[in-house]
Structure 1
Amino acid sequence: MRRRTLLVSAAALPAVAGCSNVLPTGTNDQPQTPHEESPRVDTPPHEINRPDPPDGPPGERDWNDDYLGETMPTEPSLAFEPVSARLTERYRLSHDLAPAAYRVGLVDDASALSDHFALDRMDDADRDAVEAVDFDTHVLAVVVSGFGSGSVSHRWARAEADDDGIHLHGYYSAPLVRTDDYTIRTSALQIERPADGVGFIRVSLTTDETTRVHFNSTEGAVSVDN
């Protein structure tokens, strides 16, 4: 597994791209009292330097899509890697949550796979890979967020073990030229299980130069006015 920054494209999870249905209620991933993140939004703690736009078209080769996370620390980190999968209806985000919505799910037992992954609609190789996860040593995390251009994707820098379980740090890619569609971004990751166990997964996602959003797997879908 890799510990460097990982790119996870929404195209890897086509079943959830562009979804707009309301999430069912009562689907928090852990049987515990929801823990609301506070603050929900803060300023990214790492230095972010927006590059100057390149001169003249096309010029994209001179643009850094990863500038939002270029200086984001990648250590310390548990080992993690992307998983290609199709998701179930629980990860559909309603456009009623616009302009921005976020959700992360934790899968820490094989018996819960069908609650999170549409196994019957996955390619054989992808389904076999998901079903082969050893939950004694690893967990799966699913992250969905919206809304905006499908050209933008999640990038993940590190997955830290903390007192509550796992703290996943990432950011949005920032391509200079973007499609004008209106969709959600998705990730599925296999993460090394911390030695002290996993209560829940917390995500800190840098979405622009001044905004970092926090959400966790006990909360269900959350919306942010940004």
Structure 2
Amino acid sequence: ESVIFLSFGSGGTISKCQMTELAYGLELSKQRFIWVVRQPTEGDASAAFFEAKDCDGLPIINYLPDGFVSRTKDVGICVTMWAPQAEILKHPAIGGFVTHCGWNSVLESILNGVPMVAWPLYAEQKMNATMLSKELGVAVKATPIEEGGVVCRKQIAELIHRVMVDEEGIAMRVKVKDYKLSGEKALSVCGSSHGSLYQMTKDCVFHMHQQSSEAKSRGA
């Protein structure tokens, strides 16, 4: 549990300035990392989702501070655009997850017992981040200096340190592993999630047959 994984989902992007601060924050944290890097954007944080931009064929190094890749080559890996997130979160080396708090990412993190740095970008992600940090106690939340502003490198390093090293992070890890067990139980054959999905499917089939019968009756 010595590596922190960073990914803002399939649709999340950050600005060039924020990417620079994130890179320096990672360096300051002195933690091992895997970072999924996307082309920065100065517009909507959901740009990658709605515009499906790639990295324009440019190497990752073009978007990161000078010397960052070489300085961190022994402790970190930068991956372009996409990585097998679910498989990475399952690995026992992963001790934390910097996430945009999309619901799929939240579920994958909890079901693998990984505490989070909650960094919401758009849509319902702010609500998810608040729930994770304030109600469930399995995340710390990144907060820009001002609304719509940049999360500074010092705060980034502190957040990562809180999750990966501090007593607070140890407590979060215990909590999230308890939620992991609850999630596994819910997803089991006799669990609440499995039961709800089964009932929904059963109801859908019933209503489809009912509508079909009514249509035939009207046709007759």
With normalisation by structure 2, the TM-score equals 0.22
**Which of the two has greater helix per residue?**
2
Q: Taking CA–CA contacts closer than 8 Å with sequence separation of 6 or more, which of the two structures ends up with the larger relative contact order?
A: 1
**Which of the two has greater strand per residue?**
1
